[in-house]
Amino acid sequence: MSLPTIPRITPSISINRTQVINMLLASVALEEIGLAHIINAEGEKIQAVLGTLPGLSVKATSISGLLSVNREVRRTLQTIIKNQMLLQFKLEDIMDIFSTPTLPPSPPIYVKAGSAWGVGTPYGDGGGNAQYFTLLNSETEKTVVLGLGATNIPVGTVHLLRQGSNLLVTFTTDFPYVMHQVHLYVGATIPPFTAPGSFDYKYPLTPDGYFTTYTFTVDVSGIPGTIYVAAHADIYKQV
């Protein structure tokens, strides 16, 4: 024998907790309505055999016939009582769900993953994984990998976009990585230092949280040729 399988429901149904509870309560109410109709029918059966049901002339011809009908009605009512007990249990379970508070989700936990740089040209000896890249005068847009550690593990991107006299530099990380602080150098020459804390631009000034994207707007009207960019991010990983 094989295990039973649940058929695929199409289209998929998406309902929230409150809607589920309301549907369960409605199912109890509908079952109660059905039982009420059965009880009413059994009552009319007794009326019919007694000859008191309006519009019908059929009635029991003997005491034994009346007792037989009474036994059938009693059995039906016993079955209804059993169903009522099950419905009572079902209703109590539903009310337990209703009274149980929904706990808020636990806040995410982040652990430090290391430093990430916009992948380009390494600084060389002593620079760690520090590197820079360029945006040529003929280029209006460019995207490079935001690489973590010495092996440049891809954790996001750095996107450059010329917009008039400004250069928009957007840092973005992919799940499960987030940023704690970002540093940016934009100039007409290779960055003279590798310490990101010495760069002209950083966000936030005092790290106090985590984010997955941030855009710097830098005035590059004074850089007529190639733009040199060094983009650094302190990376954390959600666990």
| Tens-place pLDDT, residues 36-87 | 999 999 888 888 878 788 877 666 678 887 888 888 989 999 999 999 999 9
Asked whether 67 and 11 are in contact (CB, 8 A), the reply is no
219 versus 10: the higher-pLDDT residue is 219
Kindly report whether the peptide bond that precedes residue 101 is cis, defined as omega within 30 degrees of 0: no
- State the first-to-last Cα distance of the chain, in angstroms, to the nearest integer: 42
Q: How far apart (Å, rounded) are the C-alpha atoms in residues 111 and 238?
A: 7
Q: Which two tokens stand for residue 160?
A: 């450059």
Give the global pTM. Answer: 0.61
Q: Which residues contact 65 (CB under 8 A, 6 or more apart)?
A: 49
Q: pLDDT tens-digit profile of 111-169?
A: 999 999 999 999 866 667 899 999 999 999 999 999 999 999 999 999 999 999 999 99
- The pLDDT score that the predictor gives to residue 173 is 98
pLDDT at 2: 60
